[in-house]
A and B are shown apart, each in its own frame.
Chain A
Amino acid sequence: MPLWEVFIRPRTGLNHKHVGSLHAADAQMAVQAARDVYTRREEGNSIWVVRAEQIVASDPDLAAENFDPAGDKVYRHPSFYDIPDEVGHM
């Protein structure tokens, strides 16, 4: 029985967000099952399901290599730049 990752949109206007997974025989049954288990308390108004094997994840062993380099790029942030106080918010 294939595994499906489930994404729910909590409210119109927001992104779908990963909430968990479930097993189901096909896409339609996966959507129905997701509706039954993940939206019993008005958790959302739209469901996406994706076969878990279709999701490609970054390698956890490469997390430092992938994400640490952004750490010292302070010049990507507004606070790096000095502008006169009188200007206020910019």
Chain B
Amino acid sequence: MYSQGLIGADTQTHETPEFLEAFQAKIDSEQKIEANDPMPQAYRNTLIRMISQHAHSEIVGMLPEGNWITRAPTLRRKVALLAKVQDEGGHGLYLYSAAETLGVSREQLTDELLSGKAKYSSIFNYPTPTWADIGAIGWLVDGAAIMNQVPLCRCSYGPYARAMIRVCKEESFHQRQGYELITSLMQGNDQQQAMAQDALNRWWWPSLMMFGPSDTDSQHSDQSMAWKIKRFTNDELRQKFVDATVPQAELIGLTLPDPDLRWNDTKNGEGGYDFGEIDWDEFWRVVKGHGMMNKDRLAARRKAHADGAWVREAALAHAARHATPDVALAS
């Protein structure tokens, strides 16, 4: 899921004006850029950063939910959560492999995540203290991710666009299982309803922050839009998400934690919700590593990587010993 507004991308270009013009013309005629095609270095760098941040987010995103797999209240909820977390691991793989088409190695990207150099979505640095959080994540976090990812299926870079098509196909069940979970809590007793409301109160604002900095503060947005890496600005996507989600909350009896939220008939010509100011200080604090769970998330990833070292070594040793693999060879 979860690419986030290109934090700190380098968009310096050194190519000739003719080259850049020809590249832009190709983009403007809606032709995809493929791995072997010439491209400005800044286009490549922007995509490497964006796709790898997205991949890291999928992988780190397994942690807050994985935490609840063994505690799911029913077998039905357990298989759903297990399948979802398994999907997120797969999304990470699709995205790392799309990034590798741009000339970076998987090892390099993994090192950047584990060293703390690479960014991932701020949303995963919030804790999941209750079962209702699992519903809120599926409904809101995957919902926001879908909003972001659907336009990325038309990204100008072919390998990224194709990975996104695969991801989007799998993503729909993630949001539905979350909303179903929250809905069933809202049909339960007072305590269960309060638990659902509490989860919404904690996840609403961080979900809005997933779309990245406001357009007025996002320096990289214009170039990414011109290159059709992104099709909508951060604020446009955030607005779409609010407009889609508010009725879903109201339908099941939840109240959004925003006193400034109200329908505005004339917004953007076709109507939309006005909503309150996002706490950008909190956003930047969490992005820069000072969220509640940043340390735990990285520690968990490092431990998983270290604990898996013997498996990688054993696999390589096994492969070396059996130089001819015992699988059917196509002829």
Contact = CB atoms under 8 A, between A and B. Distances in A.
Per CB-CB distance, the 3 closest pairs between chain A and chain B, nearest first, are A13-B32, A81-B176, A78-B172
B31 A80 contact: no
A73 B180 CA distance: 18
A53 B180 contact: no
Given A56-B325, A90-B175, 12 more contacts: A13-B162, A53-B329, A56-B328, A57-B327, A58-B327, A75-B83, A75-B177, A76-B83, A78-B172, A78-B173, A78-B176, A87-B248
Interface of B: 31-32, 34, 36, 76, 79-80, 83, 87, 158, 161-162, 172-173, 175-177, 179-180, 183, 248, 251-252, 325, 327-331
B177 A81 contact: yes
B176 A73 contact: no
Contacts of B175: 90
Contacts of A76: 83, 87, 173
A30 B204 CA distance: 56
Nearest to B80: A75
Interface in A31-90: 46, 52-53, 55-60, 73, 75-78, 80-84, 86-87, 90
B329 A56 contact: yes
Contacts of A87: 179, 248, 251
B83 A58 contact: no
Interface residues of A, number: 29
Contacts of B328: 56-60
Contacts of A3: 331
Nearest to B37: A12
Contacts of A84: 183, 251-252
A3 B329 CA distance: 13
Contacts of B252: 84
Interface in A12-26: 12-15
A75 B79 contact: yes
B158 A12 contact: yes
Contacts of A5: 330
A59 B330 CA distance: 10
B158 A13 contact: yes
A6 B179 CA distance: 45
A31 to B, nearest CB: 13
A2 to B, nearest CB: 11
A74 to B, nearest CB: 9
